[in-house]
């Protein structure tokens, strides 16, 4: 039997179709895994950002509270109190 050039047999066409389907599915699976990893990384970064923002807020409140103490100790009355506390007369 002589085969004509340029034509592919039905079996070769099926193999190509199966190979393309398997390749496409593997590509989709690979992209899905990458997408899931990216979402996890985004979640981790977001929670880290929220934690850092809470720490910033906490330290800002501490600075504000201590600023009033600093202002008091800069006054004459505050300096007198510190001197008495250290044993000065």
Domain coordinates in residue numbering, the chain: 12-85
DSSP-assigned letter for residue 87: T
Question: pLDDT digits over 3-41, tens only?
Answer: 556 678 989 999 999 999 999 999 999 999 999 999 999
State pTM to two decimals: 0.56
- Lowest average pLDDT, out of 28-42, 52-66, 75-89, goes to 75-89
Collect all residues with Cβ–Cβ distance below 8 Å to 72 and sequence separation of at least 6: 78
């Amino acid at each position: 039997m002589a085969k004509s050039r340029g034509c592919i047999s039905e079996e070769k066409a099926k193999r190509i179709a199966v190979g393309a389907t398997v390749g496409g599915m593997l590509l989709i699976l690979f992209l899905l895994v990458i997408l899931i990893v990216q979402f996890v990384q985004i979640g981790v970064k977001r929670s880290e950002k929220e934690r850092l923002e809470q720490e910033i807020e906490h330290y800002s409140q501490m600075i504000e509270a201590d600023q009033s103490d600093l202002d008091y100790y800069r006054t004459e009355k505050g300096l007198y109190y510190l001197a008495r506390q250290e044993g000065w007369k």
